[in-house]
């Protein structure tokens, strides 16, 4: 079984002009890892989801997500915005410094909702967010997410 995330799916110094740019960079990690077969289709699916409702949540979090035929396996790409920068994701409390891109296959509605719910339950805790921001590298971010959110 493939883990939901891995160090190669983590950008620890994300620099982006806006949420579209940030999403593209994170989605590219999924494509590079063979988890997304058609980058443009996946980005279109994420954009369609974002048009329904902004996916920023309190605590400085961007949580773009989509089910897509371009996704081969449920995956999570993580972006930690470079220190001092923030990206507007439409959250009521302001822009994001952590971004989690959830990708699920079209037929993976249950997987998609489980990933979203499990992650959201942890993200409400400042200590979890702070541990991700303080993690020394991509491997530590990935390990923290897998351990704290998914018990792996």
Task: Give the catalytic positions in this structure.
Answer: 65
Number of residues that this document lists for the chain: 152
Report in angstroms the alpha-carbon separations of 4 from 47, 75, 89, 126, 148.
Answer: 22, 5, 23, 22, 13
* Strand ranges (E), 22-130: 56-57, 61-62, 65-68, 75-81, 98-105
């Amino acid at each position: 079984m493939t883990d939901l995330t891995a160090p190669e799916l983590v950008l620890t110094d994300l620099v982006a002009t806006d949420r579209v740019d940030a999403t593209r960079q994170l989605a590219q990690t999924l494509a590079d890892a063979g988890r997304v077969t058609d980058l443009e289709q996946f980005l279109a699916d994420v954009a369609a989801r974002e048009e329904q409702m902004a996916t920023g949540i309190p605590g400085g979090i961007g949580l773009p997500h989509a089910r897509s035929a371009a996704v081969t396996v449920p995956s999570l790409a993580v972006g930690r915005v470079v220190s001092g920068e923030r990206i507007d994701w439409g959250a009521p409390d302001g822009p994001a410094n952590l971004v989690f891109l959830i990708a699920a296959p079209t037929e993976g509605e249950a997987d998609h909702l489980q990933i979203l719910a499990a992650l959201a339950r942890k993200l409400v805790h400042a200590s979890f967010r702070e541990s991700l921001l303080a993690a020394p590298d991509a491997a530590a971010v990935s390990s923290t997410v897998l351990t704290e959110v998914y018990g792996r």
